Structure 1
Amino acid sequence: MDWLKRMNNVLDYIEASLEDEIDYQKVAQIACCSEYHFSRMFSSISGISLSEYIRRRRLTLAAFEIQKGDVRIMDVAVKYGYDSVDSFARAFKKTHGFTPSAAREKGTPLKAFPRISLQISIKGDTEMDYRIEKLDFELRIIGKGQTVKTSRAFKSIPSLWNKAKKAGFMQELKSMSWEDPKCTLESLLGVCGKEAAITDDEFVYFMGVRYDGAPPSDMETLILPPCTWAVFPNVVEAWKRLYSEWIPTSGYELADLPCIECYYPPKHQPRRELWVPVIPR
């Protein structure tokens, strides 16, 4: 499976580069995926962010070196990318529960975070409903962005919409959403990651609607080019299964555009959809 091979090639590259500066553009190139999607794909599959995985692997190797010999702690800190002994000691203690100097003592319990090796088991017992939509026009979305921590996205995003409702912002968006409908993407939209780097632990969640007119002065305009989209009902389930189940076997690659959560009016079926930008392989 090409997708699985590429992901494990990324992990091989990271493992070989733990003592050096990691080129994150190269990481995305090896994965044949945008930096935006790779960071979310990695977090979805592994359960931690890419930056956290790299930090844990480096501190695991650092602990091995400190325990095995008389190497200077400063040398180990520099080797694994820390500018000072203090910053290294803080990170080391956060991971291992002890300072680097305490780790020299025999009997000190430390933590070893192993290298990840990805495997995918295709069960096939639970289908994923989807459809393909091709929008041959530019998507102009107006609204406002809020910073969200990736690890808390499933809890934070509903809270953002609740606050938008209480503040009247949601109603303002609704009143504009059907002024000039021309596709099925006509409702409240949550654009997941207006822009993001590969190691970001947070992203900008852009709440808005598709709108071709001039935006109000307190809103921004986000423009997405024409694209093909894979559309899934049940947003939460789709997010959980997208990277590990659908993408590896679909015949599509992820396009370098953000995903969109679409929230429809009452009585619409389905009530919510996840729109994922894709390119045929």
Structure 2
Amino acid sequence: MISALNQLVDLVEEHLAEEFDIHGLAGRLGTTEYHLRRMFSSLAGMPLSEYVRRRRMTLAAADVVRGEGDLLSIAVRYGYGSTEAFGRAFRLVGHAARVPLIHQGINPHIQQHITALPQEEHLRLKALSDTDPGGLLQVCDDLDPDSTEGSELTYLHGVAVSRDTPAPDDLDAIEVPSGKWAVFRTAGPHPQALQTTWAATATEWFPSNPWRLRPGPSLVAILERADDFSSATCELWLPVEPV
């Protein structure tokens, strides 16, 4: 089994910037993908997906430090995001509320804010979206710089629209000036995978890169999700500027 796990690590290293065939490897080794993943998690102390995420983040940081491309092309190289719409000014429109910051688990105040909106309002908002990031967005603005648990922030459930798109009078609006964005893609249990990645940007990504947060809202775009929202694939957009 140790030999099989070593081969799995080699496979991951060879294909960090792309998808890798763990199912095919398991078949060649005479075992199952489920068993291989369970054994890896037991011995490494973390799921395979978390190991891959950390390795990609480490290599991306090293590429930035060595100057092997700009931040955005490096993000794409390691599957962290898209180069479209970076630097473009846009507007966020939707329904805003002041809520307390909660670091772990579902924020019931945000959940209550969203579920209070009728279904037709969600559809109306989606129809307004006309720029990247597309679709319904989870927007956090006016955060306490120390991100203290329980401190208040402005949460907006809405969409991004072009600066020249008129905002309906009954919606809250946040103007977003042009600037750079770092985009991180997450997948897994929701909201745990998103919250873990958010924390990792502070402990792993920013300390290793010549970038810092700039004033502005952070955005979460839900790309795919389970019907019960127990898991999701998301993009976390953070406003950044050179150090």
**How would you bin the TM-score normalised by the shorter chain?**
0.5 to 0.7
Q: Which deviations, in whole Å up to 9, do the C-alpha atoms of 1:229-250 show, x marking residues without a partner?
A: 1101113332121111111112
Choose from 159, 175, 195 the match for 1:223: 175
Q: Which deviations, in whole Å up to 9, do the C-alpha atoms of 1:78-107 show, x marking residues without a partner?
A: xxxxxxxxxxxxxxxxxxxxxxxxxxxxxx
Task: For structure 2, list consecutive stretches of 5 or more residues without a partner in the other structure.
Answer: 1-52, 58-78, 187-193, 227-231
Aligned in 2, Cα 1:160/1:248: closer, same or farther, shift over 3 Å?
Answer: farther
Aligned in 2, Cα 1:196/1:220: closer, same or farther, shift over 3 Å?
Answer: same
Q: Residue 205 of structure 1 corresponds to which residue in structure 2?
A: 155
SS of the residue corresponding to residue 56 of structure 2 reads coil
Q: Percent of aligned pairs with the same residue?
A: 25
Q: 2:159 is matched by which residue type in structure 1?
A: V
Choose from 120, 144, 160 the match for 2:95: 144
Tell me how far apart the structure 2 counterparts of residues 186 and 162 of structure 1 sit (CA, whole Å).
18
SS of the residue corresponding to residue 246 of structure 1 reads helix
SS of the residue corresponding to residue 243 of structure 1 reads helix
* Residue 263 (str. 1) matches residue 222 (str. 2): yes
State the Cα distance separating 1:159 from its structure 2 match. Answer: 1.6
* Residue 236 (str. 1) matches residue 198 (str. 2): no
Q: Which deviations, in whole Å up to 9, do the C-alpha atoms of 1:183-233 show, x marking residues without a partner?
A: x4111112212x244467121111111123222222022111101111011
Q: Residue 156 of structure 1 corresponds to which residue in structure 2?
A: 107
Q: 1:188 is matched by which residue type in structure 2?
A: L
- Asked whether the equivalents of residues 132 and 228 of structure 1 are also in contact (C-alpha less than 8 Å), the reply is no
Aligned in 2, Cα 1:160/1:261: closer, same or farther, shift over 3 Å?
Answer: farther
How many aligned residue pairs are there?
A: 151
Aligned in 2, Cα 1:225/1:186: closer, same or farther, shift over 3 Å?
Answer: same
SS of the residue corresponding to residue 127 of structure 1 reads helix
Aligned in 2, Cα 1:150/1:138: closer, same or farther, shift over 3 Å?
Answer: same
Task: For structure 1, list consecutive stretches of 5 or more residues without a partner in the other structure.
Answer: 1-123
SS of the residue corresponding to residue 216 of structure 1 reads coil
Q: Which deviations, in whole Å up to 9, do the C-alpha atoms of 1:232-269 show, x marking residues without a partner?
A: 111333212111111111221111222111123679xx
Q: 1:174 is matched by which residue type in structure 2?
A: K
Q: Residue 239 of structure 2 corresponds to which residue in structure 1?
A: 277
Q: Residue 39 of structure 2 corresponds to which residue in structure 1?
A: none
Tell me how far apart the structure 2 counterparts of residues 218 and 196 of structure 1 sit (CA, whole Å).
24
Higher strand share goes to which structure? 2
Tell me the TM-score normalized by structure 2.
Answer: 0.53
